[in-house]
Structure 1
Amino acid sequence: MPRTISVEGMSCEHCERTVEEALEGVDGVTDASADREAESATVEGSADPDALVDAVADAGYDASA
């Protein structure tokens, strides 16, 4: 089931890709897609929501589940 998290601070395609790569590195994530205009990211898989937020924060962006 897809999960959407809020992500603030993305301003370009590179930012989106950075967030996607950070999320794809979390155990249990099978796919991730970031959208800077919607200020969100959608994640497929069974990852822990706190791990998703932490991964985005480690990449330099503000996130909330």
Structure 2
Amino acid sequence: MTTTQFQVTGMTCGHCEMSVREEVAKVAGVDGIDVSAQTGMLVVSSTASVDPNAIIAAVDEAGYQAVPA
């Protein structure tokens, strides 16, 4: 299992977390998602290789910005 961390800006609440989680879950190969508005961190777990740019695009689709941490 591989984990990749991202810093997400703009999240302020549980609804923000849910929006990010829903979009990232659509990325092929993603097996687990841990997101926290409090820390601004997104941790994505996968067994297959996942393109970090696909995660960043998914977070962007949710209305936030992510950069690898």
TM bucket (normalised to shorter chain) is over 0.9
- The yes-or-no answer on 1:36 pairing with 2:37 is yes
Name 2:51's counterpart in structure 1: 48
Deviations 1:11-64 (A, max 9, x none): 110100111111111011011111111111010013110100011001100111
What is the match of residue 23 of structure 2?
A: 22
Unaligned runs of 5+ in 1: none
Q: TM-score, normalised by structure 2?
A: 0.88
Q: TM-score, normalised by structure 1?
A: 0.92
Taking every aligned residue pair, what percent have the same amino acid on both sides?
A: 35
Q: Which runs of 4+ in 1 moved over 2 A?
A: none
5+ long unaligned stretches in structure 2: none
Q: How large is the RMSD of aligned CA atoms in angstroms? A: 0.8
Greater Rg by CA: 2
